[in-house]
Amino acid sequence: MARSVKLLLTENVDNLGIVGDVVSVRLGYARNYLLPRGFATTPSDELINELAERRKQAEADLAELRKQRQALISKIDGLEMTLTRACNDQGQLYGSVTQQDIAAALTELGYPVKAREVRLAYTIKRVDKFDVTVKFDSDLEAHINLWVEADRELDGDERDEMEFDNEGNLIEKSAKKKGDDKPAEAAPAPAE
């Protein structure tokens, strides 16, 4: 039984080919996706000749799309973008920043980007700066600096710092005042 089959594409299919291409695909992909949707058919010389004009138009459309993407890359490469998210006091987000969130923010700024073109190397789950890649094609990509900020002022570490004198004795916190460079009386050393 054949594991793959050759088909003639009647429509452009992402990551496979354009109209008029004869491609070799797995049998299940052909049977379950390409053939039922009318994206492909059995190749023949007559069909290839009929699709020649549509193929020329598809090639022209792809060339125009590539120019548009190159122009978009020149605009967004190195772009700094900020997203505000809810988080806890340690800066951990309650959710995560997804590809859809980044694509929606870029589109809102006037840069039409699809979610599948945004590439995240890891899940964004904390308040910080991240490098995000927007990849349109194998050789067309842009890098964006994404700042994820908290939606409120984060409570810092409120614990008092302990201070010691030169002998290692604990200095009373109430004895030291801000702006006072000299340590106050040292607390007596614990008896051993």
> What is the tens place of the pLDDT at every residue in 155-168?
765 556 667 777 77
SS3 189: coil
- Residue 156 belongs to a domain: no
Question: Mean pLDDT across the stretch 124-130?
Answer: 92
- DSSP H or E run through 23: strand 22-26
Look-up of token digits 């005042």? 177
Q: 24 φ, ψ to 5°?
A: -105, 120
> Could you report the per-residue pLDDT of 31-44, keeping only the tens digit for each?
999 999 999 999 98
SS3 155: coil
Q: Could you please report the per-residue DSSP string of 78-127?
A: T-EEEEEE-B-TTSEEEEEE-HHHHHHHHHHTT----GGGEE-SS-EEES
Q: How many CB atoms lie within 10 A of CB 69?
A: 18
Same domain, 98 and 33: no
**What domain range includes position 133?**
74-150
Q: Of 44-48, 145-149, 161-165, 170-174, which gets the smallest average pLDDT?
A: 170-174
Same domain, 87 and 46: no
pLDDT at 190: 56
Same domain, 134 and 95: yes
pLDDT at 129: 93
CATH number at 9 reads: 3.40.5.10
CATH number at 123 reads: 3.10.430.100
pTM for the model stands at 0.66
Q: How many CB atoms lie within 10 A of CB 168?
A: 8
Q: CA–CA separation, 126 vs 147, rounded Å?
A: 10
Q: 44 φ, ψ to 5°?
A: -150, 155
pLDDT at 15: 83
How many alpha carbons lie under 13 Å from residue 7 in its C-beta half-sphere? 26
> Could you report the per-residue pLDDT of 62-98, keeping only the tens digit for each?
899 999 999 999 999 989 999 999 999 888 999 999 9
